[in-house]
Amino acid sequence: MPGVAAILRFAALALLLAFLLMPQSFAPLFAPLTQYGAPPIYDQGNLLTLALAHLGLVCCAAAASTIVAVGLGIVVTRPSGAQFLPLSRTLVNIGQTFPPVAVLAVTVPLVGFGEKPTLIALFAYGLLPIFENTIVALQTCPPQVLEAASGMGMSARQRLLSVELPLALPLILEGIRLSLVINIGTATIGSTVAAKGLGEVIIAGLLSNNNAFILQGGLVTGLMAILLYDALAGLERRICRTAHLE
């Protein structure tokens, strides 16, 4: 089974790179989907540039939400922030019922069109999974381990940095992975508000009734999401394994 998975993974990556670097060589494949001689490959921009812009947007937002969410997660699980814990839990639950599109839609009229509303919406929506997983991870640290750490004379700060956070890392990474994957999808919708990204290709296809464009945009975003998800899952497994070996 791992052999098959590795081959599939490699094939998907090769396909994605080949398409982004030499899109024109795929033209015959997409030609049957177009009508009235419309271009079979997206020609209103460089696909590679769009894909990188898309990824950049998602990663910037994810980096920002990771810093804020992990920070907040640490604050509410310390004794001084315990008052905020029940509320933060409930807020995470309520927040998950907000569709990402609604967050995006409400930001646009407030800050205008372009990258800004998409970045804000991706940041805000990305906070939730990371925050939730940070809280759960920090709260489920085995009490014996924490007591042992205190017994060794560790200060609260040392205990957090060298015991709690390393133990919490796999779950926090899972939260980051979830929020990245959700955000790759939401960033596509960002193109409806003029953010640069792969959604442009899909929207162009929807507007000009060109199924080839829609399929290209969809496949590239889908492949990117799957590969990213898979890569991060691999990273998590590796970290878990080293954590268990030690």
Partner 1 sequence: MSTRTALTVPRLRRLDPLGALLAAAGAVAAVFLPFVVLKSNRIVPGDPRALLEVLPAWGALGCQVILICAALAALRVSNPRVRLGAALLGVVAVALAVAAAGDALTPAGNKVVRVSPGAGFWVLLVCLGLMATDATTRMRPGPGLRVLLLAVSIAVAGLALAHGTFDHLSVMREYAVNADRFAREARQHVWLALGSLAAAVLVALPTGILCHRVPRLRSGVLGTLNVIQTIPAIALFGILMAPLGALAAAVPLAAALGIRGIGAAPAAVALFLYSLLPIAANTVAGLKRVPRAAVEAARGMGMTSWQILTGIELILALPVILTGIRIVLVQNIGMVTVAALIGGGGLGTFVFQGIGQTAIDLVLLGAIPIVTLAFSAAVVLDALAEVLDRARQ
Binding site for partner 1 (CB under 8 A): 1, 33, 83-84, 86-87, 89-91, 93-94, 96-102, 105-106, 108-110, 112-113, 181, 184-186, 188-189, 192-193, 199, 202-203, 205-206, 211, 214-215, 217-219, 221-222, 225-226, 229
Identity of the residue, 149 or 203, whose beta carbon is nearer to partner 1 in the bound complex: 203
The token pair at 57 is 């947007």
Neighbouring CB atoms inside 10 A of 154's CB total 16
CA distances from 63 to 60, 153, 173, 226, 233 (A): 5, 33, 12, 19, 17
* Shortest Å, Cβ 246 to partner 1: 28
* Shortest Å, Cβ 229 to partner 1: 5
The DSSP secondary-structure symbol of 46 reads -
* Shortest Å, Cβ 156 to partner 1: 19
The DSSP secondary-structure symbol of 83 reads G
* Shortest Å, Cβ 83 to partner 1: 5
The token pair at 136 is 């759960």
Identity of the residue, 138 or 184, whose beta carbon is nearer to partner 1 in the bound complex: 184
Identity of the residue, 63 or 94, whose beta carbon is nearer to partner 1 in the bound complex: 94
Identity of the residue, 118 or 149, whose beta carbon is nearer to partner 1 in the bound complex: 118
Residues 6+ apart with CB under 8 A from 2: none
* Shortest Å, Cβ 97 to partner 1: 4
Identity of the residue, 119 or 214, whose beta carbon is nearer to partner 1 in the bound complex: 214
The token pair at 236 is 């998590």
Q: Do residues 141 and 82 make contact, with C-beta atoms less than 8 angstroms apart? A: no
The token pair at 84 is 């905020």
Identity of the residue, 148 or 231, whose beta carbon is nearer to partner 1 in the bound complex: 231
* Shortest Å, Cβ 71 to partner 1: 16
| Distance from C-alpha of 6 to C-alpha of 187, rounded to nearest angstrom | 28
Q: Do residues 95 and 131 make contact, with C-beta atoms less than 8 angstroms apart? A: no
The DSSP secondary-structure symbol of 191 reads G
